[in-house]
Copies of this chain bind each other. A is one copy, B any other.
Amino acid sequence: MCRWAAYRGEPLYLEELVTSPAHSLIEQSHHATRAKTPTNGDGFGVAWYGDRPEPGRYRDILPAWADCNLKSIARQIRSPLFLAHVRAATGGGTRRDNCHPFVHENWSFMHNGQIGDFEKVRRPMETMLGDDLYAARNGTTDSELIFLLAFHFGLREDPLSAFADTIGFIERLSFHMTGSALVRFTAAFSNGRTLYAIRYATDRRAPTLYAAPMGRGQGYCLVSEPLNDDVDTWVEIPDGSAVSIGEEGLDFVMFEPGNSIALHPAREAI
């Protein structure tokens, strides 16, 4: 099980969420007291937005707690919008290309969860990608593939709807190919302006998602698991919902997979 944290608000040093000794993501990943998997040592990554439309990114395959570069970068860089992830591999080798956040154009994406029987649906999912997105696939994870498919389904125009269609497509494809379907998906993503998160699972057992105000003004933090024991601060976002955090603060909507996309294109490709 992976862990992640994301922030949007007044510029904040990355270290406050990512590497500080008290209750940061890295500290949590090292001790992993509440985790179902023993630890999160299979790489990490951060993506942050600065002066340019596309984010900066730093990923590596060391355990995050052992990486001096991360400590220095997180201490130095201040950003109004960033995503951070530590990985416990469920599939896909331990290499940089498989570390979250994934970045394409000005979008960033990170994920906790998985697609059931991914190896059986991986190829038809890849076949769905247009040539540009196919060429943009660098790794072997289900997460990167979900992200690229979301572009196919309109991420640039309507992000939440694009992921709804993507997940709906994967569920129907899985059912078609294997007789059952399981997508567990607790993800955060951004275009550099708005920070989004979705919590959804086919079997209603999605990995957790929490939100809390952070910093001054309309700043918010989203996390896969609370970063400290101050339980009152963190509001659990229920399964089957999505949040978006923009200039106006946090919005909350219901989320369910779209069913408007037929399987025919994939069926032809299979």
A contact residues vs B (CB 8 Å cutoff) = 30-33, 38-39, 41-42, 48, 50-52, 55-63, 66-69, 72-73, 75-78, 89, 93-97, 119, 122-123, 131, 134-135, 138, 140
A-B contact pairs, 29 of them (CB 8 A): A30-B38, A30-B39, A31-B38, A32-B39, A38-B38, A39-B41, A41-B66, A42-B63, A42-B66, A48-B76, A50-B76, A51-B76, A51-B78, A57-B69, A58-B69, A58-B73, A59-B68, A60-B69, A61-B66, A62-B62, A63-B63, A63-B94, A67-B94, A68-B96, A69-B69, A95-B97, A122-B135, A123-B131, A123-B134
Contact of A72 (CB < 8 Å), options: B56, B62, B131: B56
Closest 4 pairs between A and B when the two form their complex, measured CB to CB: A56-B76, A41-B41, A66-B94, A39-B39
Give CA–CA (A31, B32) in the complex, Å. 12
Known: A38-B38, A55-B76. 7 other contacts (CB 8 A): A31-B38, A42-B66, A52-B76, A58-B69, A66-B89, A122-B135, A123-B134
Closest B residue to A95 by CB, please name it: B95
The answer to whether B42 and A56 touch across the interface, beta carbons within 8 angstroms, is no
- Indicate the member of A33, A56, A76 with the most B CB atoms within 10 Å: A76
A97 to chain B, nearest CB (A): 6
Give CA–CA (A68, B84) in the complex, Å. 17
Give CA–CA (A135, B238) in the complex, Å. 36
Q: Which residues of B contact A76 (CB under 8 A)?
A: 48, 50-52, 55-56
Q: Which residues of B contact A61 (CB under 8 A)?
A: 62, 66
A172 to chain B, nearest CB (A): 20
